[in-house]
C-alpha cells in the first residue's frame, strides 16, 4: 500500500465501511477495510442472491453518496436500465452490485488508498487493531462499522429445529415445502424470510409472534410529500408531539407525517433529554419502526395475501419456554390480550428478532467500556458518541481517533440504519477526519 500521511482502520466492510473508505479515498485519506463477512460492500442487507428481496427505500433515495442524489438511478440507467425507475424498489442484490461497483471505481481512480483485509477484528490496542489470526493493523484512527449482528437467541437455544441466524448462508435449506414455521419477530427480517421461503417453493403455514404483533406498513404507490408539521409536533413532551403529529395526519396522511420527520429525526433525537428518549423507546418505538421502515407495495401485497389465505397468522404476545425435538418445536407464550393459549407448535422456529447490538459483550468494545475508554449511553442502546460519531469516554470526552458508524451508532442518532441516514453520517466522519 502506498505510504499515506494518515491511515484509518475501518472495522466492517458492509455498506457503511465500504462507502466510508470510498469517500476517504476521494478526500485523500488512506484506509484499511477489515471485513469478515460477505464480500466487501454487501453486508447482510445486500448479499442476498435472490432478486425478490427488494429495497425497502425507493431507488431514487438510495444514492450511496451524500450530495449526489441521482447516483444510484444513474448507475441503474447504465447498468440495469429496466430497473431505473426512481420511485420503484430495486432488488437488494442489484444495489449490492452498485455498491461494489462504486468501491471498485474509486479504488481504480485512487490506487493504494484502500487496502482490503479479510479477517475479524477482535481487539483494539493503542493505535492498532488486532485480528483473530494475530495480525496487527496499525492505524491513526479506527472506525467501527460493524453493522447488523445476528439476532440474540429469542428461544434460548439454537440448532436442530431452531434457526438462530436467519441470514446465515443456507439457513432455510432444510425447510420442506409443507413444513410449518414459527417465526419470532414480525418486522422486516420476518418479511424477508417469508419472501425467501416462498421463492424456494414453501407452501406451508407460518405463525409470527411479536410483543405487539405489528407488521411493517407499506409504502404508497407513489412518493409522499412531507407534511407541514406544527411546532407542537417538534418540541415539548413526547405525548404532546404525538398528539400534534396525529392531528396532522387528517390533512397529510400518516406517510406524509413520517416523511416530514425523516430528515430531522437525528436532530430531534440529539435535542431530546434522557427522559424523552426513554419514553420514545419504551412506548413509541414499535409503532415508529413499522411506520418509518416501510416495505415495497408488492411485498406488502404478498403478505396480505398470505394472511387472507390463513397461511400466515400474526399473534401478539410474549415468548415463553421453547422445547424442541427432532420433528419440531413447542413454544409457550402469553398472549398480549391476556388469558392462556396452547403452545405454538411448528416444524421449525426462525428467530427474526433482528440485530442484537450488545457493546457490553462484544469482544471489540467490551474492553473499551471496562477501561473507561468508552461508555454506554444512558439507555444502554450503544456506545455514547458525539455529533460526529466519536466515542465518548467515561468522563464524556470525545476520542478524536475512534468513531462508530452505521447501525451501532443509534444511541447518538437513533435513525442511522438506512442508506439515506448512513451516507450523511459518513460525511460527518469524513469531515471529522479531515
List, in sequence order, every residue forming a beta bridge with 345; answer none if it has no partner. 330
CA dist., res. 114 & res. 112, Å (int): 6
Q: Which residues contact 221 (CB under 8 A, 6 or more apart)?
A: 297
Q: Which three cell numbers stand for residue 389?
A: 460519531
Shortest Å distance, C-beta 36 to ligand FAD: 4
Q: Which residues contact 126 (CB under 8 A, 6 or more apart)?
A: none
Shortest Å distance, C-beta 417 to ligand FAD: 5
Count CB neighbours of 316 within 10 A: 15
Shortest Å distance, C-beta 214 to ligand FAD: 18
Nearer to ligand FAD, 248 or 302 (CB): 302
Nearer to ligand FAD, 65 or 242 (CB): 65
**8 Å CB contact between 164 and 158:** yes
Question: What is the separation, in whole angstroms, between the first and last Cα of the chain?
Answer: 20
Nearer to ligand FAD, 116 or 120 (CB): 120
DSSP structure string for 12-58: --SHHHHHHHHHHHHTT-EEEEEE-SSSTTTHHHH----TTSB-SS-
Shortest Å distance, C-beta 57 to ligand FAD: 4
Site for ligand FAD, rule CB under 6 A = 11-17, 34-38, 43-45, 55-57, 92, 120-121, 145-148, 192, 364, 406-407, 417-419
Shortest Å distance, C-beta 197 to ligand FAD: 15
Shortest Å distance, C-beta 358 to ligand FAD: 12
The alpha-carbon radius of gyration of the chain (Å, integer) is 22
Nearer to ligand FAD, 43 or 164 (CB): 43
Nearer to ligand FAD, 68 or 318 (CB): 68
Q: Which three cell numbers stand for residue 98?
A: 452498485
Helices (H), 110-224: 188-199
DSSP structure string for 169-197: TTTTTT--TT--EEEE--SHHHHHHHHHH
Nearer to ligand FAD, 292 or 390 (CB): 292
Nearer to ligand FAD, 269 or 333 (CB): 269
Shortest Å distance, C-beta 144 to ligand FAD: 8
Shortest Å distance, C-beta 406 to ligand FAD: 3
Cα atoms in the Cβ-side hemisphere of radius 13 Å centred on 405: 30
Shortest Å distance, C-beta 1 to ligand FAD: 18
Shortest Å distance, C-beta 368 to ligand FAD: 13
CA distance readout (Å), 17 to 9, 41, 405: 10, 8, 8
DSSP structure string for 244-279: HHHHHHHHHHHHHHHHHHGGGHHHHHHHS-HHHHHH
Alpha-carbon 209 to chain mean position: 20
Nearer to ligand FAD, 89 or 333 (CB): 89
Nearer to ligand FAD, 142 or 145 (CB): 145
Nearer to ligand FAD, 331 or 419 (CB): 419
CA dist., res. 106 & res. 30, Å (int): 12
Amino acid at each position: 500500500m502506498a505510504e499515506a500521511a494518515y491511515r484509518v482502520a475501518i472495522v466492517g466492510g458492509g455498506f457503511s465501511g465500504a462507502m466510508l473508505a470510498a469517500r476517504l479515498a476521494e478526500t485523500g485519506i488512506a484506509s484499511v477495510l477489515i471485513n469478515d463477512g460477505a464480500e466487501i460492500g454487501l453486508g447482510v442487507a445486500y448479499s442476498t442472491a435472490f432478486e425478490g428481496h427488494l429495497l425497502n427505500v425507493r431507488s431514487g433515495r438510495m444514492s450511496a453518496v451524500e450530495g449526489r442524489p441521482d447516483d444510484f438511478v444513474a448507475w441503474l440507467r447504465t447498468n440495469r436500465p429496466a430497473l431505473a425507475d426512481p420511485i420503484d424498489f430495486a432488488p437488494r442484490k442489484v444495489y449490492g452490485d452498485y455498491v461494489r461497483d462504486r468501491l471498485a471505481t474509486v479504488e481504480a481512480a485512487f490506487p493504494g488508498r484502500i487496502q482490503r483485509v479479510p479477517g475479524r477484528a477482535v481487539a483494539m490496542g493503542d493505535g492498532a487493531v488486532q485480528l483473530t489470526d494475530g495480525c496487527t493493523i496499525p492505524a491513526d484512527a479506527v472506525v467501527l462499522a460493524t453493522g447488523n449482528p445476528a439476532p440474540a437467541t429469542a428461544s434460548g437455544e439454537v440448532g436442530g429445529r431452531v434457526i438462530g441466524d436467519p441470514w446465515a448462508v443456507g439457513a432455510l435449506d432444510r425447510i420442506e415445502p409443507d413444513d410449518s414455521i414459527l417465526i419470532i419477530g414480525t418486522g422486516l427480517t420476518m418479511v424477508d424470510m417469508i419472501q425467501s421461503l416462498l421463492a424456494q417453493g414453501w407452501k406451508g403455514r407460518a405463525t409470527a409472534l411479536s410483543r405487539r404483533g405489528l407488521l411493517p406498513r407499506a409504502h404508497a404507490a407513489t412518493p409522499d410529500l412531507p407534511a407541514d408539521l406544527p411546532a407542537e409536533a417538534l418540541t415539548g413532551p413526547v405525548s404532546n408531539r404525538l398528539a400534534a403529529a396525529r392531528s396532522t395526519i387528517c390533512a397529510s396522511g400518516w406517510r406524509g407525517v413520517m416523511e416530514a420527520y425523516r430528515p430531522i429525526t437525528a436532530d430531534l433525537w440529539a435535542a431530546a433529554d434522557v427522559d424523552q428518549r426513554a419514553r420514545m423507546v419504551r412506548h413509541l418505538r414499535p409503532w415508529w419502526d413499522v411506520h418509518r421502515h416501510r416495505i415495497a407495495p408488492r411485498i406488502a401485497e404478498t403478505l396480505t395475501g398470505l394472511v387472507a389465505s390463513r397461511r400466515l397468522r400474526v399473534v401478539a404476545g410474549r415468548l415463553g419456554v421453547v422445547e424442541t425435538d427432532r420433528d419440531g418445536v413447542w413454544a409457550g407464550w402469553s398472549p398480549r390480550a391476556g388469558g392462556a393459549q396452547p403452545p405454538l407448535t411448528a416444524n421449525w422456529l426462525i428467530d427474526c428478532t433482528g440485530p442484537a447490538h450488545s457493546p457490553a459483550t462484544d469482544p471489540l468494545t467490551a474492553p473499551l467500556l471496562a477501561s473507561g475508554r468508552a461508555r454506554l449511553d444512558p439507555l444502554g442502546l450503544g456506545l455514547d458518541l458525539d455529533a460526529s460519531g466519536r466515542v465518548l469516554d467515561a468522563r464524556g470526552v470525545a476520542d478524536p481517533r475512534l468513531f462508530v458508524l452505521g447501525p451501532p451508532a443509534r444511541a447518538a442518532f437513533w435513525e442511522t440504519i438506512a442508506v439515506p441516514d448512513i451516507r450523511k453520517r459518513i460525511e460527518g466522519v469524513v469531515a471529522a477526519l479531515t
